[in-house]
């Protein structure tokens, strides 16, 4: 009889863990690496996301995460991977729409660090632009 009780507890525990994971999903780190030899000069660039940040934008040319940490006190980082050269940039602006900084995404780099120490505590916005078209805007909170 005790053996059945242990099995019952194990099943209950498993159901509890599954239920917990459904309501509180765990973010896993992204890892992108090439699976075969590169076919052209741009495919040999690969990158491993070392964060659990969400994907901000992804297409056949670019994959970029949201800014982390958010809220930020010293720096906010956006990690990215370019699959082919593209004219992309991140623009940081205040709530009035005034541009504070612009960061160009370099094909040979894999992250942008926004130095938030130069901003007052408050709400800011960062916009991803590709070929001078605004793609997506997100909020960045700065707390000192």
| 121 HSE (CA, 13 A, CB side) | 3
* Closest to 91 (Cα-Cα) out of 56, 138, 48, 58: 138
pLDDT, one tens digit per residue, over 88-122 is: 999 999 999 999 999 999 999 999 999 999 999 99
Taking every pair of C-alpha atoms in the chain, what is the biggest distance, in angstroms? Answer: 71
**Structural fold of domain 55-142:** Immunoglobulin-like (2.60.40)
pLDDT, one tens digit per residue, over 31-79 is: 444 444 445 444 444 445 455 679 999 999 999 999 999 999 999 999 9
62-65, strands of its sheet edge to edge: 55-58, 62-65, 75-82, 111-115
């Amino acid at each position: 009889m005790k053996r059945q009780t242990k099995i019952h507890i194990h099943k209950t525990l498993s159901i509890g863990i599954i239920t917990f994971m459904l309501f509180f999903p765990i973010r896993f780190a992204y890892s992108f690496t090439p699976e075969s030899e590169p076919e052209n000069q741009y495919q040999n660039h690969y990158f491993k996301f070392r964060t659990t940040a969400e994907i901000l934008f992804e297409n056949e040319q670019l994959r970029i995460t949201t800014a982390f940490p958010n809220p930020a006190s010293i720096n906010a980082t956006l990690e990215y991977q370019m699959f082919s050269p593209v004219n992309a940039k991140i623009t940081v602006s205040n709530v009035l729409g005034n541009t504070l900084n612009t960061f160009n995404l370099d094909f040979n780099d894999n992250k942008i660090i926004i130095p938030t120490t130069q901003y007052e505590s408050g709400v800011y916005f960062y916009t991803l632009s590709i070929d001078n078209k605004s793609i997506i805007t997100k909020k960045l909170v700065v707390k000192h």
